Amino acid sequence: MRIIRRRSWNLPERDVTPEAVWRDRRSVLKAMGFGAMGAAMGGGVAGALLAPGHAHAYQPGDAPTDNPWTGLYPVDRNPAYADAGRPLTPEKIASSYNNFYEFGTHKRIWPDAQKLTLQPWTVTIDGMVDNPQTLDADALIRKMALEERIYRFRCVEAWAMVVPWSGFPLSALVKMAGPKAGAKYLRMETFEDSGMAHGQRSIWLPWPYVEGLTLDEAANDLAFIATGIYGKPLPRQHGAPLRLVTPWKYGFKSIKSIVRFTVTDERPTSFWEQLESREYGFWANVNPEVAHPRWSQATEKMIDTGEDVPTLKWNGYGEQVASLYTGVNDGDRLFR
């Protein structure tokens, strides 16, 4: 048997769950035929995950097929976010190295993610709001003023990329909802359909994927709802038709394929927090000085070049977000 030693930067979140869960999972994964997934992780270079000659109509880097929003892109770049201080990650690399546990626990989920049905896609906005509403993603996307922003992106697993998202500020959606007095948080939820997304048959994971922000975080200009990437509609593996992007936080906060936004006065428990609260919390702000219990967060590896670069506090966005946390005393929990 070949033992493949994973590099610490490439440790998937699934490897850091309690041992009992992991043991169960391994036997189930094995039964499901996932036994060889370690091999795919071991290569270390994301580019190796591209599958040339794959028998799918869609290939990473293509404009998504059968996507109703193709005509909307590209959109104008917001000059305030035109330069992320690092080179853009090549599109094909970013769109073939993904985390989307609904479609599997490994990085090469893009072929399976093509099963995601985009129409109809209903988005519900509810909870403590003046304007609760249920609308089609199509109506929502066409209603919003779309812009492009280049952001750095940092996964808690210590890999990083730089990508041009298209979409709209989350604050516009919150404003449309009209939070009532006393509301404090925004809870977001991903679709649940285990027939379409086989990863959701994995009962050890707390489906549906849930994330949350304080309303102040949601109102920060950086918080973004992405509907596109690289001047095209969002491919399914990136979380079509709409996903969150919070570039000062670890990537797991950036919940994909959202179906519900709920304004609430209760702090939501996120997917990863529910699975392993000692390692993943509500805040998850990037900080090189607070190590993950299992690895350092001091540096990150660019998924295209493999280059190790120093990690910056708030992923370098402190000027815009640090003030959100003055007076928030949650110790190192603010950073995991």
Ligand X SMILES: Nc1nc2c(c(=O)[nH]1)N[C@H]1C(S)=C(S)[C@@H](COP(=O)(O)O)O[C@H]1N2
Binding site for ligand X (CB under 6 A): 13, 98-102, 155, 190, 209, 238-239, 251-252, 254-257
- Measured from the CB atom, the residue of 101 and 261 that comes closer to ligand X is 101
Q: Exposure pattern of 106-120 as b/e (b: 16+ CB <10 Å)? A: bbbbbbbbbebebee
- Residue 92, annotated ligand binder? no
Q: How near is the Cβ of 257 to Mo ion at its closest, in Å?
A: 15
Question: Closest Cα to residue 145, out of 189, 176, 114, 119?
Answer: 176
Angle at 307 between CA 301 and CA 309, to 5 degrees: 65
Q: How near is the Cβ of 154 to Mo ion at its closest, in Å?
A: 9
Residue 271 touching Mo ion (CB under 5 A): no
For 184, 226, 271, 330, the CA distances from 266, given in Å and listed in that order, are 7, 25, 16, 16
Contact yes or no for 154/299 (Cβ under 8 A) = no
* Residue 255 contact among Mo ion, ligand X, none, beta carbon within 5 to 8 Å by kind: ligand X
The only residue of 81, 101, 168, 252 in contact with Mo ion, by rule CB under 5 A: 252
Question: Closest Cα to residue 276, out of 293, 295, 299?
Answer: 293
Token code pair at residue 40: 């795919």
For 236, 245, 280, the CA distances from 64, given in Å and listed in that order, are 8, 20, 33
Binding to Mo ion by CB under 5 A, coded x per residue (else -) over 98-137, reads -x--------------------------------------
In this structure, the number of other CB atoms found within 10 A of the CB of residue 211 comes to 27
Number of residues that bind Mo ion (CB under 5 A): 4
Residue 251 touching Mo ion (CB under 5 A): yes
- Residue 5, annotated ligand binder? no
Residue 153 touching Mo ion (CB under 5 A): no
If you search the block for the tokens 């546990």, which residue do you land on? 101
- Residue 243, annotated ligand binder? yes
Token code pair at residue 265: 């006065």
Q: How near is the Cβ of 176 to Mo ion at its closest, in Å?
A: 29
- Residue 255, annotated ligand binder? yes
Strands 159-169 and 299-302: parallel
The only residue of 11, 155, 173, 245 in contact with Mo ion, by rule CB under 5 A: 155
Q: How near is the Cβ of 15 to ligand X at its closest, in Å?
A: 12
Contact yes or no for 96/90 (Cβ under 8 A) = no
Site of interaction with Mo ion (CB under 5 A)? 99, 155, 251-252
| Annotated binding-site positions for Mo-molybdopterin | 98, 101-102, 155, 190, 243, 254-256
| Annotated binding-site positions | 98, 101-102, 155, 190, 243, 254-256
